[in-house]
Amino acid sequence: MKKAVVFLCLAFVFILSGCVFNANIDTYQDDVDMTPRQISISEQTPLVDVIEQVKGAVVGIMAVTSNGYSIGSGVAIRDGGYILTNHHVIENSNSITVYLADQTTTKAKLLWQDSAMDLAVIKSEKDLPYLVCSSRDVSVGEDVIAIGTPLSLDFKNTVTKGIISAKNRTVGVQNLGGYTTYMQNLIQHDASINSGNSGGPLLSLNGEILGINTLKASDAEGIGFAIPISVGETVIENLSNDEDFSQGYLGIFAVDVDMARFEDDSILQKSGAYVYAVDSKVSSSLKRGDIIVKINENDINDALDFRLAMYKMKAKDKAILQVLRNGEIVDIQCEALEKV
> 57-95, pLDDT tens digit by residue?
999 999 999 889 999 999 999 999 999 999 999 999 999
Fold (topology level) of 248-338: Pdz3 Domain (2.30.42)
Residue 339 has pLDDT above 90, yes or no: no
Residue 226 has pLDDT above 90, yes or no: yes
CB of 118 within 8 A of CB of 9?
A: yes
CB of 209 within 8 A of CB of 76?
A: no
pLDDT of amino acid 340: 61
Q: How crowded is residue 148: how many other Cβ atoms within 10 Å of its Cβ?
A: 30
pLDDT of amino acid 13: 59
CB of 335 within 8 A of CB of 314?
A: no
- Kindly state the average pLDDT of the residues 230-236: 87
Count Cα neighbours of 2 within 13 Å in the Cβ-side half-sphere.
1
Q: How crowded is residue 318: how many other Cβ atoms within 10 Å of its Cβ?
A: 11
Helix ranges (H only) for the chain are: 47-54, 87-90, 229-241, 257-260, 303-311
In this structure, what are the phi and psi dihedrals at residue 163, rounded to the nearest 5 degrees? Answer: -130, 160
- What is the CATH class of 143-232? mainly beta
Which residues 6+ apart lie within 8 Å of 29 measured at CB? 102, 103, 104
Share of the chain above pLDDT 90, in %: 51
pLDDT of amino acid 155: 84
Write the CA distances from 327 to 106, 136, 266, integer angstroms: 55, 33, 12
Higher pLDDT, 311 or 200: 200
Tell me how far the alpha carbon of residue 217 is from its chain's centroid: 17
Residue in 253, 263, 266, 248 with CA at minimum distance from that of residue 340: 248
Domain boundaries, the chain: 11-131, 143-232, 248-338
Q: How crowded is residue 99: how many other Cβ atoms within 10 Å of its Cβ?
A: 22
Write the CA distances from 109 to 37, 44, 224, integer angstroms: 21, 37, 28
- What is the CATH class of 11-131? mainly beta
pLDDT of amino acid 331: 93
> pLDDT band for position 135 (50/70/90)?
confident
Q: Which tens digits make up the pLDDT trace of 282-331?
A: 666 888 999 999 999 889 999 889 988 888 888 888 889 999 998 899 99
- Give, in degrees to the nearest 5, the angle at Cα 117 between 82 and 277: 145
Tell me how far the alpha carbon of residue 120 is from its chain's centroid: 7
pLDDT of amino acid 22: 43
pLDDT of amino acid 260: 86
pTM: 0.85
Share of the chain above pLDDT 70, in %: 87
- Catalytic residues, by residue number, are 88, 118, 198
> pLDDT band for position 97 (50/70/90)?
very high
Which of 115-124, 167-176, 259-268 has the lowest average pLDDT?
167-176
pLDDT of amino acid 27: 43
pLDDT of amino acid 80: 94
Fill in the DSSP letter of residue 27: -
Residue in 75, 82, 71, 70 with CA at minimum distance from that of residue 59: 75
- Kindly state the average pLDDT of the residues 44-55: 95
Judge residue 136's burial from the number of C-beta atoms within 10 Å of its C-beta, 0-12 exposed, 13-18 middle, 19 or more buried. Answer: exposed
pLDDT of amino acid 23: 42
Q: Which tens digits make up the pLDDT trace of 107-127?
A: 999 999 988 889 999 999 999
Dihedral sign for Cα 322, 326, 328, 333, please. negative
pLDDT of amino acid 19: 38
Residue 254 has pLDDT above 80, yes or no: yes
Write the CA distances from 114 to 87, 88, 287, integer angstroms: 6, 9, 23
E strand spans, 230-297 = 248-249, 252-256, 273-278, 291-295
In this structure, what are the phi and psi dihedrals at residue 309, rounded to the nearest 5 degrees? Answer: -65, -40
> pLDDT band for position 21 (50/70/90)?
very low
Q: Tell me whether domains 143-232 and 248-338 share a fold.
A: no
Higher pLDDT, 84 or 175: 84
Higher pLDDT, 216 or 62: 62
Residue 28 has pLDDT above 50, yes or no: no
Cα(72)–Cα(82) distance, integer angstroms: 16
Residue 105 has pLDDT above 90, yes or no: yes
